[in-house]
Amino acid sequence: MKKISLLLTCMLLTSLAAFAQHKQADAFHSQTHWDLQGSLKYDFLCLLNTLSGDPYYLKYYEPEYGQIIERFKPGPEVVQALQGLRREIKEENKGIVSAYLCLLYSATEAATLPQLREATQDTAQLKRGFRQSPYYSHNSWELFERVRPDLLRVLDFFINRGFEDYYRSTYAARVQQSIGQIKERLPAYNIIPTIEEHLGAPLPSDTITVYMLYFSQPHGIKIIGTRFLTDVHWPFATVFRNAVHEMMHPPFRPGDRRVKAIVRELQRDSLWAAAFERREAASGYNSYAGLFEEGAVQALENHLNHRFGMGRDVADYWARQDGGVHVMAVCLYVAMQEWDFSKRRNYARFLSHFRRQVRKHGGLSFYYRKMYPRQSNS
């Protein structure tokens, strides 16, 4: 009897501890704390877009590209490795080199290039951290294993040639200048409680870490946790909107079957299908699921921007953004103007409501024409 009693007591204590942990994890936040930092690690990973010779990024960094190539003179093997990263991640897997690598390496505390190389050589800790995130998949890790030899070759080269000292003497001052200009303004914005209210779920933390980089254009990049990457070349309003946007990725539970069903149904809509077909592949939106998630985040971001006093002309914005591909963002934004988020409803419930309304009105064009009344259905 004593053994049984002891066992029951242990089980009860374990259950209470688990319940307390669950309640703590589910706690909504009342404040937003801001932490601005530079990061050589993430800036180097973003620079790989440009070092691969990709014309999409040379539009932003052609002078810097020329200076770095002249300074470091990478040989054929390094050039081949850089091009291999671009080919495998971007061309073969329709991803973004910087976004993929920064997300993956945010699973490790490695901060310097030698530490990054060590994490790439011995991957146990990196894999363990990545598996604990909502972004892990077997395919994403297999992709890393394929590009790992090229990464090691590139890291070895730039470590041996002293890239860290070059970066500190050339770009670090500009990064710190931008941090100084922005950090005084961000504390006035308490955005986390409002985001949580609209998503219907708490974020992992009430601290937003902003990594200010030199080479992240044209992407704002979400990494693990309440952290994201932004760029020194952007004004305060853009950095702020990045913060709102990136905190909401993903806006619904990864693998949610309801969301998958919505995407499968709506990708048959002629308006969205036409937008998907004319997309620019280099932008990174190369699956309906990815384009839908981005549209869902952009719609809610712009809905909230007005509440924070950072609203924009959304009709003009979406007409130009990524070549006008974000038809889904337009339709979701129009639909959510009549949706009540005040009761912390799950965002997926809004999406289910949206699907029913699209069915009722015969397609996405019903919402799209409300913003662009002169445009045709396709």
Percent of the chain with pLDDT over 90: 81
* Residue 316 main-chain phi, psi, to 5 deg: -70, -40
pLDDT at residue 344 in the model? 56
Supply the pLDDT for residue 13: 35
Confidence (pTM): 0.85
Helix (H) or strand (E) holding 351: helix 347-361
Of the pLDDT bands very low, low, confident and very high (cuts 50, 70, 90), residue 283 is confident
pLDDT digits (tens, 9 = 90+) for 321-330: 988 999 999 9
pLDDT of residue 340: 87
Confidence class of residue 341 from pLDDT cuts 50, 70 and 90?
confident
Query: Three-state DSSP class for 226?
Result: coil
pLDDT in tens, 229-269: 999 999 999 999 999 999 999 898 878 899 999 999 999 99
Query: Cβ-count burial of 21 within 10 angstroms (0-12 exposed, 13-18 middle, 19+ buried)?
Result: exposed
> In the chain, where do the E strands start and end?
33-38, 207-213, 221-223, 227-231
Where residue 18 falls among pLDDT bands split at 50, 70, 90?
very low
The pLDDT confidence band at residue 112, using thresholds 50, 70 and 90, is: very high
Count of CB atoms situated within 10 Å of the CB of 171 = 19
CA distances from 121 to 47, 105, 147, 174 (A): 21, 13, 12, 32
Mean pLDDT of the chain: 90
Q: Which among 262, 282, 374, 354 has a CA at the least distance from the CA of 322?
A: 282
pLDDT score of 255: 81
Q: Are 193 and 342 in contact (CB under 8 A)?
A: no
Asked if the model's pLDDT at residue 277 lies above 90, the reply is yes
Which position has the higher pLDDT, 12 or 138? Answer: 138
Per-residue model confidence (pLDDT) at position 134: 87
